[in-house]
Amino acid sequence: DVSRCARLIPSAASLLAMLKRFASRRAAEGSGKEAYAALHQDPVKRNDTQHRQEWLAAAEKSACARNMESVLKGLGRSQKEIGSFKAESFAKIYEALGAEVDGNDLERALVVRNEKFGRKTACFLGLITLGLFFCFRPRDDDTVLVLTKQGRIAQLKVDRPSCCPSTLLGQFLVVAKYSAIVFSVFMLPIAIQAAMMGNSISGEMRELHLDGEGLQDMPGYLIKHRLYVAMASALGMYVVCALLPHDYRDKRRRRHLLREITASQYVLWGCACRRRSSIKLFFGTYPNQQTLDVAGNLGTSACVGPVPPDSLASSAMRPTSSVVMVLLTIFISVVSGLNSLVTWTERSLIMERYAASMTYCRTTGQDDCSVSNCLSWGEQRDLGLSDKFCGKIHWELENDLDCIRFQKTAPCCTGCQKGALEEYTSAGTYSTFKSVLSVCVDTSTLLFTFMAAKYALGLLSSTDHIDILIKRRSKNSQQQEIAKFDNTQPVGLDFVNHVFNEAKSSLHEDKSAGLFSQRTVDVSEEEARKWCGVQHYDVDEVAKDWDEFFKAELMVQMDVRWSAKVKVPKRCLGIAGDEKIVAAWTELPFYPVHMTAQEFMTGGLFYQFMPCGKTRHAVVVTNRRLFYIRYRRPLAPLSWLGVDLRIDCFRHDHDIFYGQMYRSTLQPIHKMVHQVCMREQFAPGVVAFQCKFGAIQLMRFHGDVLDVYNMMCHLSRNTAEFVNRKLIEQNGINWERCMDTVQASLQRKSPMRWALPSQPDDLVEPVPEVQLNHEQEQAFFHMSFKDVRTVLDGCYSNVDVVVTTGRVFVWHRDVYKKWDCESAIYYMFFWRGWLRFLKPAKNLHNMCSFFTLPSLLSFSTDLSMDPPSWLVPHHQPCKIPCCENLGFYFTHGRAKDGQGFWKYSCCPHWTGPSSHVTLHWRLKASSTADQDFLIAHTFKPFKFEGAPESDEEDAYAALGYAWDEIRGHTKDVTDEEQVEALRKIMYVVQDQCHKLLDEIDVLY
C-alpha cells in the first residue's frame, strides 16, 4: 500500500501543474479581450481623462457657454457663480450625453438637479427616525436637455419616484387602492360572516373583541399572543419598507428634431420658499387638451385649446348634433345609475331579510320549532317567509355541526340556511344564474373603472414629449448651482424661446422679411381702440422674468371693460426681434360667474367670492405663435405666496390654411347683466383654425368674435397669386364678367377689405368681411344661393361664396321661415314659431369660413331630384289652383297676381320633382385628422335647363314669400351657369395643386 501511494504522488503533482498552466492561459486570454474591449470602448465609458478634458474645453468655447454667461450675467450673477454653473452643467452633460454629442456642437443646454429633500428637512427626518432616514433616502433627480447645431434635441431624465404621487389624481388612486385592499382583507370577511350567521356587524365586532369593551382587553390579548403579534408586525414593517423608495429610478431618453416642435407649456406655481416650474415641449402635432390639463387649469375652463381637425367640418359646429349627443349621454348615465341603485337596494333588502330570518333558528326552542310557528313568526315580523323556507325547519338532536352555525350545541332548531337557499333558488335555475351573473358584472364594472382610470393616468404620464420639472427646495448657499431654481428657470425659458425662434419654417427664411411686415391686420382707428377688440394692448419690454413682471404690473388689471387693456411682457414670453405681435386681448369673466361642475367641486366658488385669487385669461398672437396665458394671484396680497401661472404656446408659422368663425349667444342672465344693465355691446363666438400641426379653437366669450376672425384671416398662407387672370381665361371663364359681378355685389371698404352682401331676408349679426391677405390678392368670383332644407326645419340658409386668387370664402347663415297657411301645423309643432321671441333672428346660426386654394384636393357637385310628397306643403303630387289661391289669401291677405282665371280653377294638376345640388370641397387635412376634411353646402332650389318652372316657385312659396317677392329673387345669371363657372375655377385650382405636388415630388 505504501509503495502504491508513493507512485500516485507524482501523478497528482503533474495533474496540479497542468491545471495551473490551463488557468494561467485562460487568464491571459481574458485579459487580452478586456484590453481589446477597453481600447475600442467609448471614451466616456472607459473613463478617458484626456477625452473628458478635451470635451469640456470645447464646451467652454461653444455657443451654449456664451449663452449661459449672457443669461446669468443679465440676472446679476457673479463670475464665480457663472463659472460654477457652466462647469457643473457641462460635467453632467458629458456624463449623460458625452458619447452622443460633441462639445463644439452645443447650441443650448439645460441641466436641472431637483433635490428630494433640503438640508434642514433631511436633518430633521434623520433625527426623528434615529438615522434610519439616511438608509432609505433617495438620490436627487437629474435632467439633461441639449440642443445641437444640427437641429437635434436630446434629453436624458432620471426620476427616482417617492412613495406618494405628486398629483391629486394619483394620490386619490393610491388611497382608493389601499382602502379597497383593507376593506377586502378585514371588513369583507366580517360582513360575509355576519350575513351567513344571521348576526349583525356590531355582534361580529363584539365576538372579535373589536368593540369598546374588547379594546380595553387588547393589551392582555397582545401579550398572550405575542408570537403572532411579532410576526404580524414584521410583515407590516416589510410592507412599509417595500413602499419606501430604494433608489430605483426611471430613465427616459428623448431625441427630436428641432423643426418638429409644435407646442410648449410653461407652468409656475408654489410659494416663494417652495417654488415649482414645469416646462413641456411637444413635437409632431398639437397635444390634446387632456394632456395639457394634467398640469392643472387653475380652476377655470379654457378658452383656447387644441381640438380634433374633424370637428371643424361645415356641419360640425352646428349645435344640433352635439346637443343630442350630450342629452343621450346624460339620459344613459341617469338610467344606468338608477338601474344600479335599484339593483343594489334590492340586494341589500334581500340580505337584510336573510339576516333577520336567521334569528328564528337562534332564538327558537323545541316547542316552537315547527312549520306553522315559523310561518306565524314571519308574519308577525313582516318577513313574508314562504313554505319552502319553513319546510326545512326541524329539531336537530345529534349533529353539532348544524347547531354551531347558530352558536348552539345539539339539540337545537336548525334548517334556516337550507330554507333560505331553497327559497332563493325556487324561481328556477335561469333566475338564479341571472342574479349571480348580475353581481359578477357589477363587481367587474367597478374593478374595470379603477383599472381604466389607472391606465388613462399612465398614458398621460408616458407620452413622447419632453417634460422638465424645476423645484426650489431651499436657498442654501451650499447648494450646487444647477440645483438653484433662480439659475435653472431663466436658462430653461431661454432654451424654449430659442427653440421656437430657430424652428421657423423655410417660408420665413426664403421669403423676404418685408413681405410679412406688410401683411398687417387692416382695422380702422375706431376698431383698434375698442375695449372688446384685439388691438387693445401695450407692450412691456423691461420685465426680465415673470416674478418681476407680476410685482410691477397686472396683465389684466381689473374685471371691467374700462381697464381691459393687456400688458404684453415681450421678454418674458421670449418674443424675438423679428417676431411681430399681431393681436392681444383678454377674456373678462361673466357675472354671475359661469362655472362647471368640476370647477365648483374644486373650490371655484370660493375663489370667486374672495377679493383676490381670481384667474385671469389673456391671449397674445404673433406672426409665428399663439400664447394662451392664465394666472391666478394668491388669496392674500402677500408677495411670498407667489402667483400661479400657466402658458400654452402653439406654433402656426403664419401658415393657416383653414379658418372658421361661429357666432354664439349669451345666456339670458348674462345678457341681462352685461348687455342690458352694464350697456356692453359685443358679439361672442368661436373661432377655429387649422394648420399642418393640427387645429386650435379660440372661444371669444366677452368680446367681438369678428375681430378675432379677421385677425386669423391675415395669418393664412401667402397664396395671393396662386391663380391669375391668364389661367382663368384659358379655361373659358369671362374674367371681366366675373369682376363686374363682384363689383356689383361686394362693397369695397378699403384696399384689403370687402363687405359681404346681405340678402333682403338676412337678420343675423355680425356681417363678416372678406379680408384680403396681400395687395396682390383679388376677389374675382361671387355667387349666392339658398338652402330650404327639410320640411321639419324651422330655418332655411343663405350661402355666399367668394373666390379670390388665393382663397375661398364661404358665409353660411340661417333665416327663420315665415308663416304660411299651408305649413301651419309645422309652424306650430315642429318650427315652434310661437317661441321665436326667446331667440331673436340676429342670434341664429352664423358661420363664416375660408380655406387656401393649395389645400384643395377635389371639388365635386351632386345633382339630386326629389319626388313630390304629400307631407311637404307646396310640393305635393297633386295641386288644386283654387286651394292654393285660398291658402295664399289667408297667408298674405290678398289674392295672387297673374294666372288670370286659372287661379280659381278646381282642375288638379300634377307636380314635377324638385332638384338640388350639393357642393363638396375636400381639403388637405392635418396629420392628426382621422378622415378627410370635407366641406359641403346644398343649393336648393336649383334651376337648370329642363327643370319644371314650378320648382323654384314652390320652394320660395314654402318659405312664405309672395309672388312679387319671388320675382325679386330672380338672378341675371342662371343657377346652372353659376355652378358651372365655379366648377371651372376649381378645375384650374386643382391643376395648379397638381403642379405644386409634382414639384415637391421632384425635390424629394
Q: If DSSP states are collapsed to H, E and C, what string results for 226-286?
A: HHHHHHHHHHHHHHHHHHCCCCCCEEEEEEEEHHHEEEEEEEEECCCCCCEEEEEEEECCC
Inter-residue contact 110 to 97 (CB < 8 Å): no
Q: What is the DSSP string of 179-192?
A: HHHHIIIIIHHHHH
Measured between its terminal Cα atoms, the distance across the chain in Å is 92
Distance (Å, whole) CA 414 – CA 400:
10
Q: What pLDDT score does 315 carry?
A: 45
- Residues in the chain, overall count: 1004
Q: What pLDDT score does 90 carry?
A: 92
Distance (Å, whole) CA 174 – CA 168:
10
Q: What pLDDT score does 651 carry?
A: 93
Within 8 A by CB and 6+ apart from 695, the residues are 286, 306, 307, 308, 309, 311, 312, 688, 689, 926, 928
Residue in the structure block whose three cell numbers are 500500500: 1
Cell numbers linked to 266: 410653461
Report residues of the chain scoring pLDDT below 50. 1-12, 15, 19, 22, 26-40, 315-323, 460-462, 506-520
H or E segment and range at residue 355: helix 319-363
Q: What pLDDT score does 271 carry?
A: 84
Q: What pLDDT score does 442 carry?
A: 66
Cis, peptide link before residue 766, omega less than 30° from 0: yes
> What are residue 259's phi and psi, to 5 degrees?
-70, -10
| 555-to-208, 571, 588, 639 alpha-carbon distances in Å | 64, 14, 12, 16
Please state the pTM of the whole predicted model: 0.76
Q: List the alpha helices (DSSP H) in 697-765.
A: 705-713, 725-730, 735-745
Q: What pLDDT score does 162 carry?
A: 61
Which residues in 676-794 belong to E strands, given as ranges?
685-691, 694-700, 747-750, 753-755, 769-771, 779-787
Rg, the chain, Cα only: 40
Distance (Å, whole) CA 497 – CA 635:
31
Q: What pLDDT score does 689 carry?
A: 93
Q: What pLDDT score does 267 carry?
A: 92
Q: What pLDDT score does 591 carry?
A: 74
Inter-residue contact 411 to 366 (CB < 8 Å): yes
Within 8 A by CB and 6+ apart from 848, the residues are 660, 661, 709, 768, 809, 810, 811, 812
Distance (Å, whole) CA 957 – CA 944:
19
